[in-house]
Amino acid sequence: MKGDIIIVEQHHVRAAQKIASHILPTILNGKGRYVVTVSGESGSGKSETAKALSDALGARNIACAVLAQDDYFILPPKQNDKKRRQDDAWLGPHAEVNMNLLNRHILEALNGADKISKPLVDYDNDSISEETLSLEGVKVLIIEGTYTALLRHVDCRVFINRNRLDTLEHRKKRNRGNEANDPFIEDVLKTEHKIIAGHRFLADVVITKDYQVEMNP
């Protein structure tokens, strides 16, 4: 998403290094592309972890491309916020996010596409345009976003197990639209927690609230 603030810190780098080492043998032994998702609640560090993982694999000569679920929202940010406030049902993966399009783009990548035409959300201008993402030479596709554990055709699901209280300081740092001080947003995050708390059981890798990496059995 254009205008997003990504602050990669050492705990993101350490977690990414461990995940990269864990999945590297499978990536190297595979003939096609490899798909990783990074999911978790708002402000949990999904974008930062995805960027750190892309860098960690890149340092091992594995080219990556990163897709953000935020680009697949049906409405741009301010309009989406307004819709949420008007409609209690306008929250969750199958209401406000075009998961079908995201699944389709994953499948196109797995089928060998050299590029995909994808949406691009501009946060500051509250708009959605289109961009072309090159996949030439890309071995690993990393998709980050709240609900990405639900996507199909995924090889490794990473879940960051941090709730809205654990993420408060990070949300204050980025403070999209003064979200950290908005009681409505806090209510949204409570509902979001109920929607995705169980997604950690879908994950192959869980990052704890202290940013320790655990492999799910």
Domains in the chain and their CATH numbers?
Answer: 10-209 (3.40.50.300)
Residue 196, pLDDT > 70, answer yes
Q: How far is CA 165 from CA 41, 44, 209, in A?
A: 11, 10, 10
Q: 25 burial class (0-12, 13-18, 19+ CB within 10 angstroms)?
A: exposed
- The two tokens of residue 179 are 């979200």
For the segment 6-18, the average pLDDT, to the nearest whole number, is 96
Q: What is the mean pLDDT of the chain?
A: 93
What pLDDT is stored for residue 185 in this prediction? 86
Q: What's this model's pTM, rounded to 2 decimal places? A: 0.92
